[in-house]
Structure formats: structure tokens, C-alpha cells
Chains A and B, each alone.
Chain A
């Protein structure tokens, strides 16, 4: 059967439009980051400056506190991602497979925590953390981010566990595995796509979080990258070139991270487990 060309063209155009729409801000970020300061306001709106420069990048890397921000962000985001994923894997598995008393209420409570605007919680959390010496510290940020991300990540992991047939664990238990061995050797390897997705989700959430980082951290030593970006805003001017250069650099780890996990995100590992 010969397929008519028109729907295909319409389909591809729609996809193209969406991609352009989604990626245009990133392109603009890149464009501004390589535009020399003297051309930024003088050339009007142009798709690409007549002259490009990497001066902003050099400045950001050599003369600003950006490398510190970058390192802090990396520590906070990676630790949060790992802590949350470990907790969420265990709790998600429990919610998916076990029935226990108060399960309903635990789920309800976890949902409840997701309902409040975070701004409401800034002051109480500051009050709690400051006597413990956890303000102005990366550990404090990791704890707060983990607490906020575990509920959602738990639901995410639960849905991945739900997708794995119970027969597999039962087969493993009959083969001689304990419940935990079955979890570790059979279920966990099959949940790698889910784990990758959770890691990625939590990592980006922590990477771009501004509110708590701004409120709990003062001074450059423990500032994360989103807070650091604000230092490019001074009283009288905004240094767009440097800010954008810092932004582009901040994209790199997130990009690398997704490059690493994309294999697991797209791969259906459970194929062939049961009939199909």
C-alpha cells in the first residue's frame, strides 16, 4: 500500500516545530555567551553576532567563583540523587510488593508533603537546621533536597516495580533465593531504566534548585551554581555575557549525565521475561 505523503510531512513538521521551540532558548543562551559585550546591545536582534569571542568563558573560569559553585552543585546534586534513589528503590519496592498496616496512610502522608508551596516551608526549615549547624553547609542542602524528592521518586520507582511481573521473584524464591536476594539479583537489574530515570530526575531537580540554596546558604564557599548565577547580577547592571557562559557550562554535567543513562532510559529490559 502506498502511503500518502501529506500526513508524513505534517507529522515531521510538527516534530520539527516542537524541537525548534524547545531548543531555541538554549540556542539563545549559547549565542549571547559568545557575543562580545560591545556588540550585545549595538547589533539589535540577530541570529548570530558578526564577531564571536570566548572571553566570557575565560573570565568565568579564571576570575569568578564559578568553579567553586560548580563543584558544590556537583556534590549536592550527585549525593542527593544517590541518597534519594537508594531510599526510593527500597520504599518503592515495599509499596509495590508488600501489604502492611498503615500503608494507605503512609502513601497519603507522602502525597500531602507534595502539596505545599515550598516558600511556606523555608522559614521553619531554616529554624530547624540552624541550631543543628546545618545552614550554610552542603550537608544541610543534601538533607533538605533528599527529603523533598524522596516521596515523588518513591512513586516513580513504585510504578517501575509494578511493571515487573511478580512471577519473576516467585520463580527466584522457588529457585532458592531469599526475598532480598531476589530483589537484588532479579528485580534490581531489571529496574535499571527506572533507576536511571529517577537518578536523572533528582539530579536535575537538585542541580537547578534555587529557593532553598538561596535561603540556607550565604557566602560563596557553600553556594551552589544557581545561587552563583545571581552574582552576575549587580546593583547597576547584569553581565549577560558571563551569566550565559556560566549557564552553558552548567549544562555540561547534566548533558553528560543523560548521555550516560540514556541507554537505560530507552531500553526495555523486561522484554522476554514473560510471554509476548
Chain B
């Protein structure tokens, strides 16, 4: 196992720049999730760590050694691909042992390593099968098995669960987390699924447009998003945003009403702000106090209920566990508890 340091890493294809200076310190044994919308550079970053993409500028160090110009085979990392990338002409056992055979390991040792990995993943009955005779979930397991037999310095996962159905994805997610708990291996996991990011990560790296937006524990990103992008990306249903201005030390919404919020004193008078509040933090008031909103649509999820409201013409969502909300029609009133209000300045940076 090893730590991985990334310093001022840049990547460009011709004139197109994909990564704009990424800095990241990954501690030994840490589970890091790179998350962001497609095209944000997360996969490119992972492939650069793997050595499948060259480095345009900056430095990657694995266990303190600069690996910029090292061939993937010499970096001692394992990778699980989205497509699994199993070798179709080899049996499951041969797929798993391929890396060990390339390293000319003794036959008995290879057998033992494969057997132990197979028992961890429940693959023993499948060892003689070819990949085409496996289901999607089984192929995924084989891909994981191929990675763990080698006990590499680090594991890289490139959206490994995207091709599975929802139930299987949930199950594999738990297994990956359990496996990480057992192996304590440094892992970097790329996904666009924020639930995977939240549940698996020790620390999440939220990326957008080739720039790291925020690095922190899942709850840090949820509770104190550093900017509008992270605020909108983490959480489902997504955070509500309302335009506002700073007026006399308090926040004034577009409709002219004032709202109680903790605001930095340094915010200039009259500057425009964005107020954010998560749908699950909005309170539906029964006594008629608060803001009026019109119910447009009700989505029961079984677990809870998502209310689509119109707040002065602005779409607004509320999530509640209260089943009485299923019966609401017409106008309701909602209030925003001040401790759950996020404020962002004109540039989108968090200010309170």
C-alpha cells in the first residue's frame, strides 16, 4: 500500500485543456472518490495515475517516487474498468492469475493467491468458466478479483458499477466498502453517482471543468459545500437556489421579503447573492406562517415525498417524510430554518 501525491497536474490534448492544475494528497489506505459530471476530467485524472495517459505538466508520485514517465506495468497499481475488460479467451482463473504469471510467480503461490481472492468474492464455482458464460454481476466480481490477487500499491476504479442494475449496484457497493475495510488498500474511485461517492468515500474530490472544486469528507461536502457547483451536485433531490441581495446586513429575496441568515459582515451592501437550501431541510408550516408556495406536482418515492412547488414563479422542491403531504393541494406555507441556509456570493463561493 502507498500514498499518492498529485501536484499541479495538467493535461491537454493539442489546444484543448482537460485538467487545469490538480493538487491532491492521498494518504496510505485512504478511499478517495473522484466525482463530477461527465467531461469534468475525473476519468482522465484516474487514467493519468494509472499511466494510460501521459502527463502534460505537473507530477504524480506513488509512495514518494515520481512516476510521470513510468509505464503502467511498472507502477504496481490495479484497475477495475467500467467495461470489466476481462480477457475473453481465458478462464476466470486465468484472468485472475494473468498479472501473477507475467511476474513469473511460482505456480503454487499463484494457485493460493487466486484461491484466496476467489473465496473472498465467492467465485470458486466459476473458476473454470469463460467470461462470456458469466452474468454481469459475476464479471464485475472477476474484475475485482483480478485486481485484488496482486496486492498492488493502489486500486483504481473507473465507474465499476455503472453497467449493473440498481439492486446489484447497491450490493456491490457494500461489498467494495467491506473489501476496503478488510484490505485497507489505497483506493481511487471514479463515479458520477453521488450516492456511491457519499457511501464509499473517506474523502470526496468534487471536480468540475477540469478543476477540483472541493476535497473533504462526504458530510463536509453535504453540510458545507464550498461553492454553488458542489452544493448543487451533492444531494438528491438537488439543493434549491434562490436569488437574493445583501441589504442592511440581512438577506433580501427577489420578492422583497427579508430572510434571517448568518451573513458575513464583510459582504458589501447591495451585492447579489444566491441562497441555497436543501429540499429535506425546508419545513412545511401548519400555522400559516412562512412563505406561500403553490403545489405543482407530488412525487411519492415510498420512503418519502418530493413536493414540486412554485415559489413566486421559481421552481422549488421540498422533501418530507410526512405522508400527510400527499394530500396537500393549492397553496401551502414553508419556512427555511436559518441553520440550514447556505449563502454564496456572485462568483458562487460560499460566504455563509
Contact = CB atoms under 8 A, between A and B. Distances in A.
A275 B146 contact: no
Nearest to A165: B83
Interface residues of A, number: 23
Contacts of A1: none
Contacts of B78: 174-175
Interface in B224-250: none
A167 B85 contact: yes
Interface centre among A177, A178, A270, A274 (most CB of B within 10 A): A274
Contacts of A133: none
A273 B85 contact: yes
B146 A175 contact: yes
A165 B132 contact: no
Contacts of A165: 83, 85
A173 B75 CA distance: 10
B24 interface: no
B203 to A, nearest CB: 24
Q: How many interface residues does chain B have, given as a range?
A: 20 to 34
Interface string A43-73: 0000000000000000000000000000000
Contacts of A186: 87
A90 B63 CA distance: 37
B166 interface: no
Interface in A152-185: 165, 167-168, 170-178, 181
A190 interface: yes
A173 B72 CA distance: 6
B131 A273 contact: yes
Nearest to B156: A174
Contact of A271 (B84, B88, B99, B103): B88
Interface in B148-164: 150, 163
Given A273-B131, A275-B163, A167 B99 contact: no
Contact of B102 (A181, A190, A269, A272): A181
B73 interface: yes
Contact of B73 (A177, A269, A271, A275): A177
Contacts of B131: 272-273
B89 A167 contact: no
A272 B134 contact: yes
Given A165-B83, A272-B134, A174 B88 contact: no
A184 B116 CA distance: 29
A253 interface: no
Contacts of B163: 275
Contact of A175 (B51, B98, B133, B134): B98
Interface string B67-96: 000011101011101011111110000000
B99 A175 contact: yes
Given A173-B52, A275-B139, A178 B73 contact: yes
Given A171-B79, A176-B99, A269 B72 contact: no
Contacts of B350: none
A190 B84 contact: no
B185 interface: no
A175 B102 contact: yes
A234 B77 CA distance: 73
Nearest to B79: A174
B130 interface: yes
28 contacts: A165-B83, A168-B85, A170-B52, A170-B72, A170-B81, A171-B85, A172-B87, A173-B71, A174-B50, A174-B52, A174-B77, A175-B73, A175-B99, A176-B103, A177-B73, A186-B87, A189-B89, A190-B89, A269-B88, A269-B89, A271-B132, A272-B131, A273-B87, A273-B131, A274-B84, A274-B86, A275-B83, A275-B163
List 9 A-B pairs, minimum CB-CB distance, nearest first.
Answer: A272-B132, A274-B83, A167-B85, A175-B99, A272-B131, A171-B85, A176-B102, A273-B88, A271-B132
Interface of B: 50-52, 71-73, 75, 77-79, 81, 83-89, 98-99, 102-103, 130-134, 136, 139, 146, 150, 163
